[in-house]
Chains A and B, each alone.
Chain A
Amino acid sequence: GQNIDQPTEMTATEGAIVQINCTYQTSGFNGLFWYQQHAGEAPTFLSYNVLDGLEEKGRFSSFLSRSKGYSYLLLKELQMKDSASYLCAVRDEDYKLSFGAGTTVTVRA
């Protein structure tokens, strides 16, 4: 089976930076996605990495190292509305998407 690990919870202060790590072991690799899910709502797409390196989108950045089976999502200038669960998902050689259990980020004032 696929194995995707990410921390369960993280807490940070408004205006700070938080880095959410994700490690994976999958049968093949066809891209890594990050999704944001607020409580009671649908997951929404944040970023996609298929090549090594950093992808930046405003306050959010995502990094991938395929050789290490590792990614991180960096959230800068944290806002209260960033309190949510962040899901790491990997597409395997059969193009199936497997998700981690999610990291709940709590932003404190």
Chain B
Amino acid sequence: ETGVTQTPRHLVMGMTNKKSLKCEQHLGHNAMYWYKQSAKKPLELMFVYNFKEQTENNSVPSRFSPECPNSSHLFLHLHTLQPEDSALYLCASSQGLAESYEQYFGPGTRLTVT
């Protein structure tokens, strides 16, 4: 248990569906992140929030829409996804954005787009 939870753990959705991924951290951290992990590829940073404000959008397609209502919760809204979006989506949090702060990862949501 890292103090970061994600739901659902597994999700299968069609290309026309709309779904949301949820992340919650119980560590009192101020920064939260979304990453995509595809097989045999490096983790790709998608979005960064610091004190609820988005500080990074790493050229992510608009079919992925993040939401951060407070420092403890982060959502990723999905709509009209493509099969190549199938991957493990990891949420992480850190105390801040400074260089020495390690990130704590959630267990991920395994997404399959059919």
Please list the residues of chain A having a beta carbon within 8 angstroms of any beta carbon in chain B.
4, 8, 30-31, 33, 35, 41-45, 48, 50, 87, 89, 91, 95-102
Contacts and interface: CB of A to CB of B under 8 A. Distances in A.
Contacts, number: 49
B43 A48 contact: no
Interface residues on B, range: 20 to 34
Interface of B: 2, 4, 40-43, 45, 48, 56, 58, 90, 97-100, 102-108
Given A31-B99, A50-B99, A96-B56, A45 B42 contact: no
Given A4-B42, A98-B45, A101-B42, 20 more contacts: A8-B40, A30-B99, A31-B100, A33-B102, A42-B2, A42-B4, A42-B108, A43-B90, A44-B105, A45-B104, A48-B102, A89-B43, A95-B98, A95-B99, A96-B45, A97-B45, A97-B103, A99-B42, A99-B43, A101-B41
Contacts of A43: 43, 90, 105
A43 B91 CA distance: 10
